[in-house]
Amino acid sequence: MIPGTFDYHAPKTMDEALTLLHTVDGAKVLAGGQSLIPAMRFRLAAPQTLVDIRHLKELAYVEERGDALAIGALTREFQLEQSPIVARSYPLLLDTAHVIADPIVRNLATVGGNLAHADPANDHPATMLAYGAQLVARKKGATRTIAIDDFFVGLFESSLATGEILVEIRIPKPPPGSGGAYLKIERKVGDYAVAAVAVQLQVSGDVIKSVRLGLTNVNPVPARAKAAEAALVGKTAAPDVLEAAGRAAAAECDPSADLRGQVDYKRDMVRVLTKRAVRRAFERAKGATS
Amino acid sequence: MTTQLDDRKEHHSAKPAGVSAQVPTTDHVRVTTPDKVCGMGHRMKRKEDPRFIQGKGRYIDDVKLPHMVYMDIVRSPYAHAKILKIDASAALATPGVLAVITGEDLKKAGNLHWMPTIMSDTQMVLPIEKVVYYAQEVCVVIATERYIAADAIEKVVVDYEPLAAVVDPFEALKDEVIVRDDKAKKTNHIWHWESGDPAATDKAFASAATVVEQDIYLPRIHVSSIETCGMVANYDKARGHMQIYMTSQAPHAHRTVFALVSGLPEQMIQIISPDIGGGFGGKVPVYPGYVCCAVASLVLGRPVKWIEDRSENLQADSFARDYHMNAKLAADKNGKIVALKVKTISDCGAADAAANPSKFPAGLYSICTGSYDMKAAHVAVDGVYTTKPPGGVAYRCSFRVTEAVHMIERMADILAHQLGEDPADFRLKNFIRPDQFPYKSPTGWEYDSGNYEGALRKAMEMIDYRALRKEQLERRARGQLMGIGISSFTEVVGAGPSKDYDILGIKMFDSAEIRIHPTGKAMARFGTKSQGQGHETTYAQIVAEELGLPAADVQVEEGDTDTAPYGLGTYASRSTPTAGAAAAMAARKIKAKAKKIAAYLLEVGEDDLQWNVDRFEVKGSPEKKKTIQEIAFAAYTNHPQGMEAGLEATDYYDPPNLTFPFGSYICVVDIDTGTGEVKIRRFVAVDDCGNIINPLIVEGQIQGGLTMGLAPAMFEEIVYDENGQNLTGTFADYLLPTAVESPKWELGKTVTPSPHHPIGAKGVGESPTVGAPPAIANAVVDALWHLGVRHIDIPITPQKVWRLLRAHGVTE
Amino acid sequence: MSRHTITVTINGEATTQEVEARTLLVHFLRENVGLTGTHIGCDTSSCGACTVNLDGRPVKSCTVFAVQADGAKVGTVEGLAAGGKLHPLQEGFWEKHGLQCGYCTPGMLMTAQGLLRNNPSPTEDQIRHGISGNLCRCTGYNKIVEAIQFAADKLRTEGTDA
């Protein structure tokens, strides 16, 4: 209920923040705090120093830049929900933002935090995998871009180095004929997913030209469903195709049994959600509203 | 605006049970007073709301006293373990830590390390030899600040030797792992209790045409009021006075228990229940934390505050349910129920501490023949110890009536389906008829009044039941799973008559003390304690009804044992049946005195007077009148010689019987064959709580109770692993429905007054929590019956439904 | 540094106090400032009883450190009634019996204020989703929804923002 003691800094500039992260042992970034603070209250996480980046307002934006959607890491989830650009062209992202935690938590929770935490139960990892996003990270003296496929390396482990902070997420602008959807089963609003599937695809006529599928909370590390993708490429969204893709996704994931469900149930939810999410993404690609 | 007021007849005076009471049913809320008086039946805005909507409520954690310090608790990580050593040295060395109290300390202070439970068992306050449940209180730390206390409990080092846990009561009955080795008899079997006639029941079964049998388990759940429990104990050494602020639903009973346990003289103990953020039964038991907090204040001579956090509340506080029921229901060749036989294991946890009336270890469970007329029944319950927290009736259950109703409504549905009969028609055929009241049930209950057919038909009409059955068949043909579930429950509340009911020996009357001031305003104090039920409004409306004093002029108080008359508190929907009755009876005593004063002032005989809403008038010359306000003034300024001044009365009401609210609920569900998710499409609830005091508040009670019925039906369950560790110890995993999961409840009503209650009211708070879960369970099973599914235990999760669907060949 | 001096403007009034870095905003409001209208109901950010307005948006104050509110504007339930007049939401909760024990009510009011500022004409479904971060055990939510609808109607009629 009450966290342990820690040192706290609220740097006013990016340079200050990076210097702190570089020089202070055990310094951890505090962004929205909606995952970190609960863990600290249970003393499951006990960082010695928090670096609060809330003053780095330049890190909160949602803008189209060339052929990518650029999202600042400090963008709050509600800002995704309110963005006309996201509503117009990134339905997978909008679907996802709507089901992260609850609406009050979304006023503080950040996109960057949701990814950097590398929690397989979080929603954005699957969605960014489906988008093939690029992540931009900075540390003192260096900036680099990380492909999303290389970002999640272990349970609660991202490929961010010590002293490195996520600053931007870039989603390639979907080409014409694209559609996406995120479907999540949760025991109640605000819960983590029993299972969720993120789909981003492009069609040509009735054929799925390309597709990426991300899965939520059914692997120890956020992962794509590559066998399911392979079962869909070049095919139409016919029932037998969707069923094959669903079965492939169910087989290639690795859910754990817990209070949200037994392994067989979770796998079957992946199968069902894969079919439904692909069908919805397909319909959106063909121009159906919602 | 009411234009037509009903006649104000005193329909009911306290009649002894047994008097013929065929009571007509209406759907009419009786209003006999104009808006400015606002008596019964008015949708009065609540008088207590202004402070709550402005954030000015005074809850336990808002209480701040000078020099107050904070207590926190070290809790056991094991369900069953010997305590080898407690090392508090690092905690005590922390700046700001004032004291650590262990079981040894309590023992030295006068054997305070054990306390009696409401069921006359014993429970550890703090352990010395061993712990018997996960999260059990092991020792307490007191510090100058809340945050320091939280740090300090992390520094206490306890050496445990883990022992085997026993979480399954059937395993416990093998007596291989003894929970209570402090007892002379080394067994986990606590008590055996029976009701009904076993011989007659067996005979009826032997000749029955159809018998259905089902095991039904109601798992542990936790009441989870949004405010947890807490106390501020303030011992003034100079005065020898203990003032206790406490989240208590029964402050007087708690005061007496504290006096008996501590030896402090009862007149020097004051318990104040401030505003309480929800009780539902969870704030009736005496938890070890309370005792430790009071002892800490005694020892330190300064105020000590203890506020449990949510994890502690969920993991260690009193639970509800945990009933393993095996039921058999028998019918004759015409599908008429003839008998019921139930065997039940009550998993009590590590002490028998359920807050039942003392002669009722299984509460009012034997109400389980329900709304059905049958000749014989036999109910047997065995209480068992396990290494889990003690308790049993803390969740809006009317003392085990949730369990009873869940069982009989599931069984009625199983029998109806087995016979191929429509579940509504089956119930209509088997209901106790209005002319059978007062109805003597085969387990000895005398139901005061009821009209079960009326409530069910009303619900059927509201939901267009026959059309839904047609739709169900059409959908089934298309492979769509739709279910309709009915629950026609009889509740039993208002504990209770002194001949049968007591809490630790204290009879379960309740009380009202009404005093009218010279300027015609009134103070009314009660022995009950609202935790959101709206007593400041409803009791005022009863007084307004009886005396014509505007409800706005009646100030209602509860909760301070120094000023309130003795009562047994608010739980099990007892307040309206007991204290509400006391309010009416006290008001009538006042009216009797008022009549004498009026006669004196008007210079007529009492027989020449008639009462009209708020005044006595001379019969035949109504312009000669005295209002209650004028009479009140005269009571202090111009009363007859020889009469005492003042206008007040107290009543301690001993109810002649319990009251029997009832209702019929119908639930419609659609099941997603891919995911197993159950969507409640519609839920109609028709309730009958007798005469209604405030329809707005009654609606609120019903809607809230329905959501607290939905929650165990589909979401809530306390889960333990095989080592007795609580896996659902936070709201992240102990799931409460939000406004999204909770349906738009549709309410209807019938009104069948109680013949023995002074205002004909019955109580309503728990009916919906009792009636809703079986309606939902019945709907889901109804949707799946044709596949071969017979039963599903709650909570009905999508995974459970999915597993049944797949097992029966249904998939997407 | 684990102790900090912070200045927070609460319901329009600035206050400067020293806190530990770990002091939760809800404790700062309740204990340091003495505004006990904001309540604590859980420890996992699930119940929303602690909801306050932080720089224009409702947040769960049990999941914010007070130091994160340094220089910020906070609105609590005590600040809803302007100039002694109840806010339409407070009126709505009273009219429609949107509360029973009152413990979740401050959080519900602050969430509802945020909801109506963002969306002055919400559908019932939007209201239910809007308050899905706030738990109530007493009411069953129906009358809370009606209370918010009452307030939305009143605000629209008056032409004011929530």
Residue C1 Cα, gap to closest chain A Cα (Å): 5
pLDDT in tens, B368-398: 999 999 999 999 999 999 999 999 999 999 9
C-chain residues near A103 (CB < 8 A): 111, 115, 129-130, 132-133
Contact B740 C128 (CB under 8 A): yes
A-chain residues near B812 (CB < 8 A): 272, 275
Q: How many helices (H) and strands (E) does chain B have?
A: 20, 32
Distance in Å from the first CA to the final CA of chain B: 55
Residue C55 Cα, gap to closest chain A Cα (Å): 11
Q: Measured between alpha carbons, how far is B280 from B285 in angstroms, rounded to an integer?
A: 11
pLDDT at residue B7 in the model: 73
pLDDT at residue B12 in the model: 52
pLDDT in tens, A185-219: 999 999 999 999 999 999 999 999 999 999 999 99
Q: For tokens 């165990």, what's the residue? A: B712
Please name the member of A7, A33, A38 whose beta carbon is closest to the beta carbon of C21: A7
pLDDT in tens, B560-592: 999 999 999 999 999 999 999 999 999 999 999
Rg of the Cα atoms in chain B: 27
Give yes or no for a contact between B178 and B165, defined as CB atoms under 8 angstroms apart: no
Catalytic residue status for B104: no
Cβ neighbours of A25 (radius 10 Å): 7
pLDDT in tens, B748-762: 999 999 999 999 999
Angle, nearest 10°, between helix axes B581-602 and B628-637?
Answer: 70
Residue A266 Cα, gap to closest chain C Cα (Å): 24
Residue B656 Cα, gap to closest chain C Cα (Å): 30
pLDDT at residue A221 in the model: 97
User: Interface partners of A (3+ CB pairs, < 8 Å)?
Assistant: B, C
A-chain residues near B740 (CB < 8 A): 188-189
Contact C90 B48 (CB under 8 A): no
Residue A261 Cα, gap to closest chain C Cα (Å): 21
Find the closest chain B residue to A243 by CA distance.
B812
Residue A250 Cα, gap to closest chain B Cα (Å): 14
Cβ neighbours of B565 (radius 10 Å): 20
pLDDT at residue B23 in the model: 84
pLDDT at residue A277 in the model: 98
pLDDT in tens, B667-684: 999 999 999 999 999 999
- CA C30, distance to chain mean position in Å, is 13
pLDDT in tens, B784-803: 999 999 999 999 999 999 99
Q: Is the pLDDT of residue C136 over 60?
A: yes
Backbone φ, ψ for residue A71 (5° rounding) = -120, 120
Annotated catalytic residue: which of B396, B410, B525, B574?
B396
> Which DSSP helix (H) or strand (E) runs through B70?
strand B69-75
pLDDT in tens, A83-115: 999 999 999 999 999 999 999 999 999 999 999
| Band of pLDDT at residue B1, cut at 50, 70 and 90 | very low
pLDDT in tens, B509-548: 999 999 999 999 999 999 999 999 999 999 999 999 999 9
Q: Measured between alpha carbons, how far is B121 from B392 in angstroms, rounded to an integer?
A: 14
Q: Measured between alpha carbons, how far is C34 from C36 in angstroms, rounded to an integer?
A: 6
Q: Mean of the pLDDT values across residues B764-771?
A: 97
Catalytic residue status for B480: no
Annotated catalytic residue: which of B227, B491, B630, B766?
B766
Cβ neighbours of B595 (radius 10 Å): 18
| Band of pLDDT at residue C82, cut at 50, 70 and 90 | confident
User: Interface partners of C (3+ CB pairs, < 8 Å)?
Assistant: A, B
Residue C133 Cα, gap to closest chain A Cα (Å): 5
Which ipTM score applies to this complex? 0.99
Cα angle B292, B297, B303; round to 5: 120
Q: Which of B230, B256, B258 has its CA nearest to residue B70?
A: B230
**One-letter identity of residue A148:** I
pLDDT at residue B2 in the model: 43
Backbone φ, ψ for residue B507 (5° rounding) = -65, 155
Please name the member of C49, C127, C137 whose beta carbon is closest to the beta carbon of B708: C137
Contact B55 C78 (CB under 8 A): yes
pLDDT at residue C50 in the model: 98
Please name the member of B147, B674, B797 whose beta carbon is closest to the beta carbon of A2: B147
By residue count, chain C amounts to 162
Q: For tokens 């899905």, what's the residue? A: C132
- CA B545, distance to chain mean position in Å, is 26
- CA B444, distance to chain mean position in Å, is 22
Cβ neighbours of B395 (radius 10 Å): 26
Catalytic residue status for B293: no
Residues 61-80 of chain C whose Cβ lies under 8 A from any Cβ of chain A: 62-65, 67-68, 70
Find the closest chain B residue to C95 by CA distance.
B45
B-chain residues near A188 (CB < 8 A): 715, 735-738, 740-741
Cis-peptide, bond into residue B737, ω within 30° of zero: no
Q: Mean of the pLDDT values across residues B267-271?
A: 98
Q: Measured between alpha carbons, how far is B306 from B286 in angstroms, rounded to an integer?
A: 14
Q: Is the pLDDT of residue B163 over 60?
A: yes
A-chain residues near B799 (CB < 8 A): 261-262, 265
Q: Mean of the pLDDT values across residues B481-509?
A: 96
Contact B55 C140 (CB under 8 A): no
Q: Mean of the pLDDT values across residues B421-434?
A: 97
C-chain residues near B223 (CB < 8 A): 137
Q: Measured between alpha carbons, how far is B575 from B567 in angstroms, rounded to an integer?
A: 10
Q: What is the mean pLDDT of chain B?
A: 96
Best to test chain A binding among C68, C119, C148 (most A CBs inside 10 Å): C68
What is the edge-to-edge ordering of all strands in the sheet holding A62-65?
Answer: A62-65, A68-72, A165-172, A134-139, A142-147
pLDDT at residue B642 in the model: 96
Q: Measured between alpha carbons, how far is C59 from A32 in angstroms, rounded to an integer?
A: 11
Q: Measured between alpha carbons, how far is B811 from B793 in angstroms, rounded to an integer?
A: 21
Q: Mean of the pLDDT values across residues C34-52?
A: 98
Q: Which of B788, B702, B347, B238 has its CA nearest to residue B489?
A: B702
For chain B, percent of residues with pLDDT exceeding 70: 98
The per-residue b/e assignment along B685-714, b for 16 or more CB within 10 angstroms, e otherwise, is bbbbbbbbbbbbbbbbbbbbbbbbbbbbbb
Residues 700-719 of chain B whose Cβ lies under 8 A from any Cβ of chain A: 715, 719
Please name the member of A187, A259, A272 whose beta carbon is closest to the beta carbon of B727: A259
Please name the member of C77, C103, C135 whose beta carbon is closest to the beta carbon of B54: C77
Reduced to 3 states (helix: H, G, I; strand: E, B; else coil), residue B713 is helix
pLDDT at residue C84 in the model: 87
Cis-peptide, bond into residue B251, ω within 30° of zero: no
Reduced to 3 states (helix: H, G, I; strand: E, B; else coil), residue C116 is helix
Q: Tell me the β-bridge partners of B137.
A: B75
Residues from A contacting C (CB-CB < 8 Å) are: 1-10, 30, 33-34, 37-38, 40-42, 50, 52, 54, 78, 82, 101-105, 107-108, 189-190
Catalytic residue status for B249: yes
Q: Measured between alpha carbons, how far is B185 from B174 in angstroms, rounded to an integer?
A: 14
C-chain residues near B48 (CB < 8 A): 102
Contact B311 A259 (CB under 8 A): no
User: Interface partners of B (3+ CB pairs, < 8 Å)?
Assistant: A, C
Q: Is the pLDDT of residue B38 over 60?
A: yes
Residues contacting B650, CB < 8 A, separation 6+: B511, B512, B513, B514, B565, B586
The per-residue b/e assignment along B643-663, b for 16 or more CB within 10 angstroms, e otherwise, is eeebbbbebbbbbbbbbbbbb
Contact B719 A187 (CB under 8 A): no
pLDDT at residue A23 in the model: 96
For chain A, percent of residues with pLDDT exceeding 70: 99
Structure tokens at B527: 């022995």
Cβ neighbours of A197 (radius 10 Å): 34
Enter the pTM of the model: 0.97
Contact C23 B147 (CB under 8 A): yes
Q: Pick out chain A residues at pLDDT < 50.
A: 290
Annotated catalytic residue: which of B123, B136, B243, B249?
B249
Best to test chain C binding among A1, A107, A259 (most C CBs inside 10 Å): A107
Residue C82 Cα, gap to closest chain A Cα (Å): 24
Q: Measured between alpha carbons, how far is A67 from A173 in angstroms, rounded to an integer?
A: 5
Contact B147 C106 (CB under 8 A): no
Q: Measured between alpha carbons, how far is B452 from B372 in angstroms, rounded to an integer?
A: 9
